[in-house]
Amino acid sequence: MKISRLTICLLAIWGCSILSAQEQDSGIIKNLYEEALSSDTAYANLRHLTEKIGPRLSGSPQAAAAVEYTKQIMKNMNLDSVFLQKVKVPHWVDKGSKAVVVSSIFGSAELNVCALGLSVGTEKEGIEAEVIEVKTFDDLVKLGEAKIAGKIVFFNQPMNPKYLNPLRAYSEVAKYRTQGAKEAARYGAVAVVVRSLSLTIDEFPHTGSMHYDSFTQKIPAIAICTQQAELLSSWLKKDPHCKFQLKMDCRQLPEAISYNVIGEIKGSELPDTIIVVGAHLDSWHISPGAHDDGAGCMHAIEVLRLFKKCDIRPRHTIRAVLYMDEEIMQSGGREYAALARKNNEKHLIALESDNGGDVPIGFSVDADDSIVAKIQGYQELLNPFGVYYIKKGYGGVDIGPLKSQGVPLVGLNLNLQRYMQYHHSANDTFDKINRRELQLGAAALASLVYLCDKYGLN
């Protein structure tokens, strides 16, 4: 088959145009990274959020202060629009817990504990009972009501350190935190103590949500730090009649009004189609939430700042959303999706950063295979910046409700080897954040947003 000179020329021109577009994209991505790495704006904003405002559980005064603070950050950026989205959120309060283990052999020791989210408290006089150690729900079945009734159940199941992905280890044992009180109550337990979900042996208890049902007694639930979970377990081996003294002052209050915080740059060609980048603004009552999820909030805001600083005029509207109440009931994410449906908003894609501020490695995509393949096509452009992982997978909690509306979801993946050391604990402080790593995450998100905005998903 003969190929005409005209065809050869057209193919050459087409090839050159592809190379030219790739060079342009590489240059813009390089600019995004250089601007991110040379800035300390997000780092300074995160310092204020975590050190001046601090823990921000939904319904708390600190959560309200965080809403106002981040709204003002985005107003100062001269975005096209900054607004609040009203959300009803749970309002659980905890004024502290105290636990002491008493042994006829070892004496007594005060334990580092914290209430699990939504736990009921104890009566004023507290609870004193023997402790019985278990590892799994099957252990409860084997022991039965005769051996459990009237006692405090101690779930002592460590996370598996053999898994490369810490989230896999976390997901295996999180059920003892979320469901432990409900399951133990079926057998007459008066309270539960849950080993903190951490791969590190230290003195920091890790909280998190737990759930009751309408069929069983609501009993108090606390987390114990891993270091003292080991201590308690060793005492019980030699003294199975150890007594546990527990006092907890926590309660559920009526729902409160809070807000999602939203800022956006309007699209130049398709302003009614939205690319959303989100994170959650709330944190647990004991945690400043530097990694979970203050870092994600700064990532989302930083995407907008980088677009403006690098003079990128998006075709679609780019929206940053700081969701309220991811930790307890995910009210912010559900309300955002409900209003999007009600207002007939069209979303091209939704991205989420909720894995902290460590080194980014790539993205997981919850979408049809054709869209996953489209995003994987950007791999070559992102590889030089350390983004080497783009695979089908999980998007995120807050963006999850958009899936039923056909919106592709993308989660920012990071190197999580240190993450569980801080997660849901008082140890999740600003000093655990590395500025360059924080900025790399923002640049990775901004780069993917730029590519999706320019080329779409078809």
Cα–Cα distance measured from residue 394 to residue 387, given in angstroms and rounded to the nearest whole number = 17
| Residue 206 DSSP symbol | B
Domain's final residue, options 215, 250, 285 = 250
Q: Examine the pLDDT at 13 and tell me if it is beyond 70.
A: no
| Pairwise pLDDT comparison (305 vs 124), residue with the higher score | 305
| Whole-angstrom distance, CA of residue 296 vs CA of residue 353 | 5
* Domain boundary residue, one of 205, 226, 250: 250
Query: Which pLDDT belongs to residue 11?
Result: 43
Average pLDDT over residues 77-87: 98
The Cα–Cα gap between 153 and 130 comes to: 9
Q: Are residues 242 and 104 in the same domain?
A: yes
Q: What is each CA distance from 103 to 100, 108, 191, 220, 239, in whole angstroms?
A: 10, 6, 19, 22, 7
The reply to whether 378 and 443 lie within a common domain is yes
SS3 100: strand
pLDDT in tens, 222-258: 999 999 999 999 999 999 999 999 999 999 999 999 9
Do 345 and 286 lie in a common domain?
A: yes
CATH number at residue 162: 3.50.30.30
For position 41, which CATH number holds?
3.40.630.10
pLDDT value, residue 37: 98
| pLDDT tens column, 135-175 | 999 999 999 999 999 999 999 999 999 999 999 999 999 99
Q: What percent of the chain has pLDDT over 70?
A: 96
Do residues 326 and 406 share a domain?
Answer: yes
pLDDT tier at 16, thresholds 50, 70, 90: very low
Within a domain: 10: no
Structural tokens at position 338: 């409900």
How would DSSP label each residue in 172-199?
Answer: HHHHHHHHHHHHHHTTT-SEEEEE-S-S
Is 3 a residue whose pLDDT tops 70? no
Mean pLDDT estimate for the chain: 95
Per-residue model confidence as pLDDT tens digits over 42-68 = 999 999 999 999 999 999 999 999 999
pLDDT, tens digit (0-9, with 9 covering 90-100), for 414-425? 999 999 999 999
- pLDDT tens for each residue of 275-289: 999 999 999 999 999
Cis bond leading into 293, ω under 30°?
A: yes
Q: Is the pLDDT of residue 19 over 90?
A: no
Q: Is residue 12 one of the residues assigned to a domain?
A: no
In this prediction, residues 167-195 reach a mean pLDDT of 97
Q: Rounded mean pLDDT of 358-381?
A: 97
Q: Provide the domain limits for residue 316.
A: 31-80+266-455
**Rounded distance, CA 103 to CA 109, Å?**
9
The percentage of residues in the chain with a pLDDT greater than 90, rounded to a whole number, is 94
pLDDT at 10: 44
- Determine the pLDDT at residue 5: 61
pTM score, two decimals? 0.93
Q: Is the pLDDT of residue 9 over 60?
A: no
Using the 3D structure, point to which of 250, 282, 303 is the last residue of a domain: 250
Asked if residue 77 has pLDDT above 70, the reply is yes
How many Cα atoms are found within 13 Å in the side-chain-facing hemisphere of 414?
A: 28
- Answer whether residue 392 is part of any domain: yes
The confidence score (pLDDT) of residue 20 equals 75
Tally of domains within the chain: 2
DSSP sequence for 366-403 = ES-HHHHHHHHTTHHHHGGGT--EEEE----TTTGGGG
Q: Are residues 44 and 114 in the same domain?
A: no
